[in-house]
Structure 1
C-alpha cells in the first residue's frame, strides 16, 4: 500500500493506492477516443411497447446533463421527460441508453446535434432510472507513460486488480474541472442555500477558461446576479438560469437551486455521501485492514442484497465466500435513516459528529431535493479482470465494471499521477 501525495486526492478522501509499485505516469483523454465507455444494458424490462422511446445515445465531449438539456431543448420538451441509467464521462466517447417520454422515432430522426447521435432501439412502459444498467465496458489508452519499462508495474497492478483495489468514488464524482459537488451537498444539508448558490456559481478553479473564472469571481465578490449575468459565457446555462431567477426573485436562493435539473441537484447531496465513504475507506486502510479480508464486525453484502456481520467464529467461512465472489465487505454511506446510520462504521459516525450532520439534515435535504437519500451499503473493494497491453509509449486497458464503480479508480493505480492528468 502507498499513500497518495496529491492534495486534491487527499481532499476527496482518496488517500491510498493498493499497490506499492511506482506509477507509470502518463495522461488520460488526450483525445476523446482514448477513453471509450460502452454501457451494458440490463435485460429488457417493462415490455416491448409503451410511451417511452428507448434510444442509444453516443456522445463525444458532452457532459451528460448538458447533453440531456440540449436534446430536450431541440425536442421542445422538459428535461424531466428524459431518463437514463448511468452518468458517463464528459471527455470521452460514450454510449448508453436514454428513455424519451412520448417522443416519436420521426422526432428523433430529425435531431442534428454536433457530436451527439441518437438511435431508436425500441419502446418500454417504464422510464430508465439511475442504476438501470448491468455495468460499463471500458477501452482506455494511457498515453506518454513516464517509465522506459512499464511492463512490471503494469503486471503488478493488473494482478492486484483481479483481487482488490480500493473502490473509491473517482474524481468525476465530485466534478472534474471543479471538484466541489460534495461541498455544495454539505451546504444543502445544512440549509445554507445562499452559500450553496455562491459556491456553485462563483467559486472559480484553475482548469476553467479565463472568461469563466472572471465571471465566477465577479459574482463571488459582488453577489450581484445582474452584473455577473453580463459576464457569464452563454454555454454556462445552469449558472445563467440560477442568476436569472435571482434577478427576478432577489434573495430566493432555494428557488435558484431548484432551477437546476432535479438529478443534478440530487447529485450534490449524494456526492457528500460519496465523500464520507472515501474518507471511511481510507481510514480503514490506514488502520491496516485488508480490502479482501474481513475482520470481526465487518458488514458483508451478498449478491441478493442480504447483509450479515463477520464474527471471529465465521472468519473461515467468510474468507471462502469473499474469495468466491459470493459477498463483499461493505461500508455504509449514511442518510436519513437513523437505523442505517448506527450500522455505519465508527469513523463515519465520528466524522458526522465533528461536522454536526445528523439524519435530520438528510431528511430535510430529501424534502428539498425530492430524493430519498436513505443511505446505502457500498463494497470497499473493486476487482476486475483487465486486459492490459503496452503499446509504444502508452498502455491500453480493457475491462468491465459494475454500475457505480469508476474506471479512473483503476487507472490511478497504474498511473499514480497528478489527478489533473486523468481529466
Structure 2
C-alpha cells in the first residue's frame, strides 16, 4: 500500500494535471443538477467561502435554544444529575468531519463509535460545536479531553441519550470573500428582504455527494435497478474528481463484475475509496448479489435514497417558484400518501417513477416518513459587517436548513478547488469582527419539522 502511494505521489509530481480537482460549486449549472433552478441567481455577485476553517463557524443550538459555543469557556452553567445514565458533552472540532471526529474520540476512549451519539452532522472545513452523548464512559475521562483538533466541554449527566434531530438548529458565522466590493445599501436591502420574506428551503450540494450524483444512485435503487445503482456509484466518472480518480473508474467500467480486479484498483487509494471498498467487500462475499451488497451497507444505501427524495423536493419547489405560485409553509414528507402524491406527483411522473412503488421492499430499512418539512426558511438573529475582503455574516437557521442555500440567495458562491485568483487571503477573527453574539435564543419564527413516525 505504501509503495502504491509513493508511486502515485511521483505520478502527481510529474503530471500535476492528474491531481487537479474541480469541486462542486454553487453556480446555476451545478445547482440545476440537483433540481435547483431559480431565475436571477446567476446575476448575483461572486463570493468564495471556506478558504480557512476559521471562515466557517457552526455552533449548534439545543432544543432549549442554548448555543453550544466554540470557545473553551463553558457555554452555560452546568447542573446535572449524577444518578442519570448518560453523559452529554459539547464537542468542538476544526477541519474534520463529524463522523471522523467521533471515530477519533472513540479510539482515544477505547469504546465502540456507536457509543457516541450526535444530533446532526457538521461541516468538515469549518470550526463547529455540537452536543453528543456517551455511554459506558466515566465523566472524568471526558472533562478537558483533547484529541488533535478536537476538544470536549460542557460535560454533564443527562437522563436520555442524544438522537438524530435532537437540536433546534445552528448559528453560523461565515466570511464570504467577494470579487467586487460589497455595496452596503444594496446588500442590506437584499438581506432585509430575505429576513422578512424568507428563502426557499432547497437541499444544498452537500446532500448530493462530492460528485453531485448521489440522487442518481438513489433513483436506481427506487426503480429496483440494484446493479445499476452500484455501477453508478463505483464506476461513474465525474468532472469534480481528479483525472486520476476518473481513470480508475473507467478501468472499473472495463472490468465490471471482476471484483478481485476492481478491489486492486481501489487499493491504490484506500483512504479515498473507503466507501467503494466497503461495497467491494460485500460483493466479493456474495458475487453479483447486489441486494446483499446494498443491505450490508444500509447506511450508505439510505443516504442515496434520501438524496433522490431531496432532488424530487428541490425540483418540486423549483417548479412552483418558476410558475410564480405562492409557496406553502410546508410540504408533506415524500411518500405514497394522497397528500404527498399531490405535491410530488408531477415531478415523479416526469422522472418516469411508478407512484405505486415508492417502497423498496428489498430494503426494509428504507422507511417512508410522515409529517411535514418547511418550504420557506427565515434567517434569524442576522448580523453582518462589510470588510475589504468581503462580508462577515452571523445568522441562525433551524435544523435541516443549509447555510449555503441562504448564502446562494446573496452570492454566486464558490468553495474548494480551484481557488479563484480574486480571493483576498487575509485571515480575520470572525467573532471579533461581528461583535457580541447571544448565548441563548428567544422566540423563533420558523416552522419546525413535524413528524408523526
Above 0.5 in TM-score?
Answer: yes
Matching of residues 314-393 of structure 1 within 5 Å: 329-335=329-335, 337-342=336-341, 344-345=342-343, 348-358=344-354, 361-364=357-360, 368=363, 370-385=365-380, 386-393=382-389
Q: 1:234 to 1:21 in 2, by over 3 A?
A: closer
Unaligned runs of 5+ in 2: 1-25, 66-79, 420-453
Distance 2:279 2:140 in 1: 33
**Within 1, Cα distance between the matches of 2:140 and 2:249?**
41
Question: Distance between the aligned counterparts of 1:186 and 1:101, measured in 2?
Answer: 37
User: CA shift at 1:131, angstroms?
Assistant: 1.3
The answer to whether the 8 A contact 2:139-2:155 is kept is: no
Please give the per-residue CA displacement for 1:227-274, whole angstroms capped at 9, x wherever unaligned: 233232222322222212222321132332344363x43222222221
Equivalent position of 2:224 in the other structure: 191
- Pick the aligned partner of 1:399 from 374, 379, 395: 395
Q: Does structure 2 conserve the Cα–Cα contact (< 8 Å) formed by 1:334 and 1:376?
A: no
CA distance in 1, matches of 2:186, 2:254: 47
1:112 to partner: Cα distance: 6.2
Structure 2 CA distance for partners of 1:253 and 1:69, relative to 1, 3 Å: farther
Residue pair 1:183, 1:272 contacting (<8 A) in 2 also: yes
The answer to whether the 8 Å contact 2:220/2:228 transfers is yes
TM-superposition CA deviations, 1:175-202 (whole Å, max 9, x none)? 2x22122222222222222222222233
Q: Does 1:7 align with 2:44?
A: no
The alpha carbon displacement at 1:280 in A equals: 1.0
Which secondary structure state, in structure 2, belongs to the residue aligned with residue 363 of structure 1?
coil
- Paired with 1:289 and 1:422, the residues of 2 have a C-alpha distance of 38
| Unmatched segments (≥5 aa) in structure 1 | 292-297, 299-328
TM-score normalised by L of structure 1: 0.78
- The equivalent of 1:270 in structure 2 is 306
Worse overlay, 71-80 or 383-392: 71-80
- What's the Cα RMSD here? 3.1
Q: Is the 8 A contact 2:182 2:386 kept in 1?
A: no
2:86 counterpart (23, 44, 52): 52
Q: Indicate conservation of the 8 Å contact 2:182/2:390, yes or no.
A: no
| Residue of structure 1 in register with 2:149 after alignment | 115
Partners of 2:413 and 2:111 lie apart in 1 by 43
Aligned residues: 373
1:291-346 CA-to-partner distances (Å, cap 9, x unmatched) read 4xxxxxx5xxxxxxxxxxxxxxxxxxxxxxxxxxxxxx2223422x433434x32x
Query: Which deviations, in whole Å up to 9, do the C-alpha atoms of 1:102-160 show, x marking residues without a partner?
Result: 233466579764333344612334332221101100000011x1223432342132112
Among 43, 63, 69, the residue aligned to 2:97: 63
Report the TM-score when normalising by structure 2: 0.73
Change (3 A) 1:166 1:196: same
Structure 1 runs of 4+ aligned residues shifted over 6 Å read 109-112, 419-423
Distance 1:211 1:40 in 2: 41
Q: What is the match of residue 277 of structure 2?
A: 240
The offset of 1:375, in angstroms, is: 4.5
Q: Distance in 2 between matches of 1:95 and 1:198?
A: 37
